[in-house]
Amino acid sequence: MSVTRLWEVEMTARSPISHRGELIGTTAIGRRMKVLQQDGSVELVPVISGNSFRGVLRRIGEELLRDVLGYEGQLPLAVAHTLRNGGAIVKTQAEPITGRRLHQLRELVPLLSVFGGAIGAAPIDGCLRVGHVVPIVTEAMPILRRTYEEPIPSRFDIEALESYSHLDDVTAGHAGTTVDLDAGAGGSGSPVMRYDIETLAPGTRFESWVQLVRGSVLDHAFLSDVLVEFTWSGWLGGRSGIGHGQIATTLNPPPEGGRGVDWREIVSARRNEALEALLALPA
């Protein structure tokens, strides 16, 4: 039996949100998307790409799977990269994974069934689709999926530029080192390097969506747990190590845990088969 399910996602920033689109000098400029307005004009709206959002979900899913299968340190780097980050298409003499072998891999490793991945010379399609994470601002109104009560801020209200400093330890000098301070700090003689990050302000609301398309009951159970974990510990954008990306998330409808299917019990019962299938993937 296949399952198709759509979740509407709403997030509220609890800390600054950053998602770099380009770097100009020492300033990280946020990613923007053109949005055509009703009067025919065009506005640049800051968005978090669906690829970034999907990547967060994938990392959460990989951690859940790793806890169940216990493959820490046992997989080739290329296979671990496929599970964690999606992998990369490379030239290989190995046969593509198709037919019965692909079906078995999807049953044994729900992460690959849901998120897909690039393995060897051919990608595996996942049954997950996600949307861009769009801030709820007036300039984004033409593309918002739902209606919201006024007042809604402008993108100019939520955009900010934060300045940071980094102490260059080499320039500052350790015992036994000889460094030209002026050369290392652009002639200023200061070991402090400054950089700027464009962010979206705490309190900004966002909307997105997640859809499972014709997945199995096991896929649905696995993705439901990923979404539950995302509401507890998920993040948005980059630089979470310096406090960015903290969010409060609600999903409609709430994930119900896979309709009574315990994916952990099913996957762990075939752990040896799963590890053999992963180790047999083209590396």
Given a cut of 80, whether residue 224 has pLDDT beyond it is yes
Given a cut of 90, whether residue 219 has pLDDT beyond it is yes
Given a cut of 50, whether residue 43 has pLDDT beyond it is yes
Structure tokens at 133: 């994470």
Please report, rounded to a whole number, the percentage of residues in the chain having pLDDT higher than 90: 56
DSSP percent split of the chain into helix, strand, coil, nearest 5: 35, 30, 35
| Predicted confidence (pLDDT) per residue in 94-105, tens digit | 666 767 888 899
User: Which is more confidently placed, 130 or 260?
Assistant: 130
| Predicted confidence (pLDDT) per residue in 265-283, tens digit | 999 999 999 999 998 887 6
Beta strands in the chain (DSSP E): 2-13, 20-24, 27-30, 32-36, 42-46, 117-119, 122-124, 128-130, 134-135, 159-167, 192-200, 205-216, 247-252
Structure tokens at 122: 């051919």
Q: What CA–CA distance (Å, rounded) separates 174 from 185? A: 16
pTM of the model: 0.86
> Tokens 């003499």 — which residue?
93
pLDDT at position 165: 75
pLDDT at position 184: 47
Given a cut of 70, whether residue 70 has pLDDT beyond it is yes
Residue-averaged pLDDT of the chain: 86
Given a cut of 50, whether residue 185 has pLDDT beyond it is no
Q: What is the mean pLDDT of residues 214-227?
A: 95
- Domain ranges (residues) in the chain: 2-151+200-279
Q: What CA–CA distance (Å, rounded) separates 127 from 38? A: 34
Q: What is the mean pLDDT of residues 230-238?
A: 91
pLDDT at position 190: 57
Given a cut of 90, whether residue 152 has pLDDT beyond it is yes
Q: What CA–CA distance (Å, rounded) separates 259 from 145? A: 27
When mean pLDDT is compared across 84-93, 133-142, 177-186, the lowest value belongs to 177-186
Confidence category of residue 71, pLDDT binned at 50, 70, 90: very high
Confidence category of residue 193, pLDDT binned at 50, 70, 90: confident
pLDDT at position 73: 87
User: Which is more confidently placed, 125 or 114?
Assistant: 114
